[in-house]
Amino acid sequence: MILAYEEFVDFLAAGTTPQGVIDFRPSDETKLRVADLIRRQKTTSLSSDETAELNQYLQIEHLMRLAKARARQRLAAG
């Protein structure tokens, strides 16, 4: 099983451009994994590893939002 945040690590490791950052979207597999973790967190419980995975994903999602905003500023500045 691929951890939900590994996709972001691979994206960054490959290198990118401001437009690449703006265009980045998580895969359907990652979206489903995170949705499942959130659903189970609300209805049952997660293991400590799953909780850590979800928290890491949410932190990276926040950073990506900030990076997308910065990338838009860079493109607008020309």
Per-residue model confidence as pLDDT tens digits over 4-28: 678 888 898 999 999 999 999 999 9
Whether 45 is in a domain gets the answer yes
pTM: 0.81
What distance in Å separates the CA atoms of residue 77 and residue 47, rounded to the nearest whole number?
45
> What is the percent of the chain with per-residue pLDDT over 70, rounded to a whole number?
96
- Domains identified in the chain, total number: 1
Whether 71 is in a domain gets the answer yes
SS3 content of the chain, % helix, strand, coil (to 5): 75, 0, 25
Token pair of 58 as six digits? 């949410």
Domain containing 44: what range?
A: 6-77
Whether 64 is in a domain gets the answer yes
Decide: 23 and 13 in contact? Cβ < 8 Å.
Answer: no
